[in-house]
Amino acid sequence: MSGPSSGSTSALAKVSSALTKLTDGAKALADPLKKKAEEVALRVTGLHEEFRERDKEHQELLDTLEFLTTRVLNELSGDQNINDTTREAISSLQQCVFCSFVHPLPKPDQ
């Protein structure tokens, strides 16, 4: 039996060439997509860090609000020298503060 005919060798060379072109083309398409995916990942990571920082600031504000509520509003509400309008305003503020502690905003990583 003799080796492959020149026709089948030619067909094999064409298939091999086409496969190489296809592989090179896929790599050429994948590189920009890979770079874009890396860019998106960096942006998402940046946003995640920003949200984490905002959450920290939010917690600091809540701590300050809790201090003001317990030290200032609660002390004022017991004062007999304030009028009913002021007492109602203090009560409304206390309820808002209470709601912010009972129903806090979810953390970004939850």
Statement: the pTM of the whole predicted model exceeds 0.75: no
pLDDT confidence bin for 107, thresholds 50/70/90: low
Concatenated DSSP letters of 51-106: HHHHHHHHHHHHHHHHHHIIIIIHHHHT-TTS-HHHHHHHHHHHHHHHHHHHSPPP
Q: Return the residue matching tokens 């060439």.
A: 17
Tokens of 85: 């309008």
What is the model's pLDDT at position 101?
64
pLDDT at 92 over 70: yes
Q: What is the pLDDT of residues 34-86, one digit of tens each?
A: 888 877 887 777 777 888 888 899 889 888 888 877 787 777 777 778 888 88
